[in-house]
Structure 1
């Protein structure tokens, strides 16, 4: 049983790098007659692994009183949402996703998997993902073939609704790897970066694998052209050097390296300035979504509207043309869906978890979870997209398993 549990956990982590799944399109996914992929109930391959993990660990979970009480609270909240919701189908399908995340979180807490071998599995996955992203960027199109079955999006530089950038007056497409957007690729890599930076190798093979993962992760973050990933990644690297070497000389050195890379980049490509200057359209869209989120929050601040309700409510809050996508902030999106009270409680619990991890000097999980919280300020994918949501749940579960609060014994 132990070997099966280990195999399933390794498989689960690997599958978080794959979008393979079956989408369903009930009426609940239609907003103004348009299919909204964020509302589409999807059975991913990693969902089946989560169910398998829960099934083999159910007797262990059922023996924990906190599991029973947590499950009861979740189902009670879910039922209340279904009864009072404007869009009960949306609540039901979105609630299934959160139920899976609850099952995953509880399984990780009670099984307390070995972080060390999960770090090594993550290293292999990151190297493969970055190699795929590099191939896409050099070819300026998706690789195709069997990669399609791993969740690679089919596109070329001429495709619409694709993330582009301009380098030396040339239009280029940003690489997706097997994720839904280059920003998600960058965010996932930044989140996993601390697992490699704070890994202590015991064998030569481990050393080579983790060194390769460090290089590929940093390269992949750069290649994603995600401003948020660049900023948070740089922050993590600087603080990791300070924590590892505890000397001001290291900080001076890394700042000089960053400054040197900035000068080189500006002289050669000149892309950073363009990337750090939001286009007026992008700024206007983000502001509009944030304003709509704040309007919704002020009308129902304490309880929220229910799982998945932000996009269906947008037509009631704005005028055409409608921008049917989540607001670019995990915190605003959470406040709309579950209310300010639940959002504040979740944030406080995560900060308490960070405090405990810092006390235990678990720098890897401390900075991985910190990256999730920082990236959540400017994007929504750790709440709205199954792949990064599952990865975030796994990391938070590992953090809770490491700290082992007395209530979870």
Structure 2
């Protein structure tokens, strides 16, 4: 393969991948209904087949990557040898086998195709894409756009006419819309162009941790740079830092307006964890300095950047409390009049969990088959389900076990272990994001059931599993 063709294929695959990141938030799709798509007129999204604009982009990435590998001497052999000995292959194989046990074979086949798509993107990112910094920048830019959309939606309490870009149509008094009571009214939560506010929250959480890293990474731009060069880039750095500061405030506001309590919690936990790690790094740096060690680690500890991030977060929190303080309190308040255990969403989740457990007990080996839990919920429910209650269990791990059995769940855990063991101090921010995903998996299903959630999960997994550290920033995680 000539050098020019190598450069062309590599650049083209990267171009497609960047397009995938930019288009990921936009829920542009076409749906194919099945016989089980509707219950008494209510559309059950999990029982339909969806084709997304991002599917076309993924095909481009995978085909160009495959062509590049085929042009490489021994490329396919090397890739196949790596894949067949990896947990990725076994997890995919179990997903494919699940078609056989699926009662609804077409849904099982569709589910297997989707997980194949996600795993191919994971392998591409893991083996052929290491430019993490650029990906994080694109995520931040996309999140700023989504935050603006979310703010406009919340202020108007109505969708803003972006249906062509994947925006869900919603208006006051509509059934099935994510909303919450506050005062004497009910408010609709911000959606962005995602199918649900919780998924918008995941995207914004990813972006907020990303922008914190980008601010911290700016402190290392001056290392090994002459005074003349520093002077020439100072204006550029000021512009970048101003942009990132605005991003923190805008994205934080977007997170608030999703009114997703799990997103609020995981964001707070991630920021607290980063602060704890920074304290540990500070202690280690000072210990090395006091003992006169040559390598003190001072190059990776930047207290001014940490202070800047804290100030920006506090400013954002203050502004949001001024404008939305009452709504925030109403969303998180638990009192005698509003018992969390009696909240409809919590009661429904408990019901879904019980149904999933019963399905697992009935089919412990290989499960019900991909995307077959919802269509068979009635068999395991202690009561007749209303149409809108036909939805996946809000727990990633129970959903995987119910559909792929204990065998599939074991393969998934094995795969996660192999991804997480690549984590290091240099990948701390990626590990925090992915760890946040795993925590959120305890409370929702979007990493398995929805295109945007699945793509974000496996892309971040690929970046974490990549053999290099953050692109061009080896050893600069924190």
Q: Tell me, yes or no, whether TM beats 0.5.
A: yes
Task: Write out aligned runs for 1:2-401 (5 A).
Answer: 2-27=10-35, 29-30=37-38, 35-59=43-67, 60=69, 62-63=76-77, 64=79, 65-67=81-83, 73=90, 76-144=93-161, 147-199=162-214, 200-201=217-218, 202=221, 203-204=236-237, 205-244=239-278, 246=280, 269=326, 271-277=328-334, 278=340, 279-318=342-381, 319-322=383-386, 323-358=389-424, 360-401=425-466
- Of stretches 316-325 and 63-72 in structure 1, the one that deviates more from structure 2 is 63-72
Cα separation, 1, equivalents of 2:12 and 2:314? 45
Q: Secondary structure of the residue that 1:6 maps to in structure 2?
A: helix
Cα separation, 1, equivalents of 2:119 and 2:52? 16
Please give the per-residue CA displacement for 1:147-200, whole angstroms capped at 9, x wherever unaligned.
211100111122221111223322211110101111111122113322221221
- Of stretches 277-286 and 304-313 in structure 1, the one that deviates more from structure 2 is 277-286
**Distance change in 2, residues 1:303/1:51 (3 Å):** same
Q: Secondary structure of the residue that 1:361 maps to in structure 2?
A: helix
Aligned residues: CA RMSD: 3.0
Question: 1:220 Cα deviation (Å)?
Answer: 1.2
Question: 1:349 Cα deviation (Å)?
Answer: 3.5
Residues 140 and 173 in structure 1, CA contact (< 8 A), matched pair in contact too: yes
Question: 1:6 Cα deviation (Å)?
Answer: 2.0
Please give the per-residue CA displacement for 1:250-281, whole angstroms capped at 9, x wherever unaligned.
89x89x969x9699679951643543543432
Please give the per-residue CA displacement for 1:75-96, whole angstroms capped at 9, x wherever unaligned.
7535532333222111111111
**Distance change in 2, residues 1:53/1:262 (3 Å):** closer
Cα separation, 2, equivalents of 1:177 and 1:263? 18
Question: 1:330 Cα deviation (Å)?
Answer: 0.5
**Distance change in 2, residues 1:228/1:384 (3 Å):** same
- Structure 1: tracts of 5 or more residues without a match: 405-409
Cα separation, 1, equivalents of 2:445 and 2:350? 14
Residues 12 and 46 in structure 1, CA contact (< 8 A), matched pair in contact too: yes
Question: 1:136 Cα deviation (Å)?
Answer: 0.6
Cα separation, 1, equivalents of 2:210 and 2:397? 25
Cα separation, 2, equivalents of 1:367 and 1:18? 25
Question: 1:347 Cα deviation (Å)?
Answer: 2.8
Residues 21 and 139 in structure 2, CA contact (< 8 A), matched pair in contact too: yes
Cα separation, 2, equivalents of 1:263 and 1:19? 27
Paired residues, number: 398
Cα separation, 2, equivalents of 1:266 and 1:120? 28
Residues 290 and 328 in structure 1, CA contact (< 8 A), matched pair in contact too: yes
Partner of 1:407: none
- Structure 2: tracts of 5 or more residues without a match: 1-8, 70-74, 222-235, 284-302, 335-339, 470-478
Cα separation, 2, equivalents of 1:267 and 1:103? 42
**TM-score (normalizing by structure 2):** 0.76
Q: Secondary structure of the residue that 2:169 maps to in structure 1?
A: coil
**Distance change in 2, residues 1:340/1:210 (3 Å):** farther
Q: Secondary structure of the residue that 1:27 maps to in structure 2?
A: coil
